[in-house]
Amino acid sequence: MKILIINGPNLNLLGKREKSIYGKSSFEEYYSSLKNEFSDIEFEYYQSNVEGELINKLHEVGFNYEAIIMNAGAYTHTSIGIGDAIAGIETPAIEVHISNVYAREEYRHQSLMAKNCIGVIAGMGLNSYRLAILHFLSFLK
From the list 1, 41, 74, 131, which residue makes contact with ligand DQA (rule: CB under 6 A)? 74
Q: Which one of the spans 62-70, 72-80, 83-91, 109-117 is the region binding ligand DQA (CB under 6 A)?
A: 72-80
Separation CA 115–CA 86 (nearest Å): 9
Q: Which of 75, 97, 109, 135 is catalytic?
A: 97
Residues 93-132 close enough to bind ligand DQA by CB under 6 A = 97-99, 101, 108
Q: How far is the CB of 85 from ligand DQA (least distance, A)?
A: 17
Q: From the candidates 22, 30, 46, 129, give the one annotated as an active-site residue.
A: 22
Q: Which amino acid, residue 38?
A: F
Cα torsion 55, 31, 34, 125: sign: negative
CA 14, 24, 45, 8: dihedral to nearest 10 degrees?
-30
CA distances from 14 to 22, 27, 46, 59, 118 (A): 7, 6, 14, 26, 25
Q: What track of x and - describes contact with ligand DQA for positions 8 through 37 (by CB under 6 A)?
A: --x---------------------------
97 noted as active-site residue: yes
User: Which chain residues interact with ligand DQA by CB under 6 A?
Assistant: 10, 71, 73-74, 76, 97-99, 101, 108
